[in-house]
Amino acid sequence: MFQGKPLVTMILEPKDGGFTGSISNANLHTDDQGRITDASAGSGDSPIVKSSMENGVLLIFSKDGDDENEWAVTLTSPATAEIRVAGDGVPEIEPIHAEKVQ
């Protein structure tokens, strides 16, 4: 969600004790404090190539061309979550609010 509107879709499918699926691509722009100032849908999807649980946080790794992106997903209710960009050397940005769609 960005400014109250759906922006990205993450599809999680259980597989072998973890998850597979995909994340639709997006372009995020932030200010110096890590606040998202602008966001737009990108083209295509990035496959989820691996996942793990660490201290109650679901870590999702997606592949976009040669780049691997890491996302930390924390449930805030049965139908909502906060998603953060994770990994070594990535700039910290505000959490992205997510809602489960039936």
* pTM score: 0.84
**Is 66 a domain residue?**
yes
Give the mean pLDDT per block of 10 residues along the chain (102 residues).
82 91 90 89 91 93 90 94 89 88 76
**Is 3 a domain residue?**
no
pLDDT of residue 64: 86
Residues in the chain: 102
Q: How far, in Å, CA of 58 to CA of 83, rounded?
A: 9
What total number of domains does the chain contain?
Answer: 1
**Is 61 a domain residue?**
yes
**Is 5 a domain residue?**
no
pLDDT of residue 50: 93
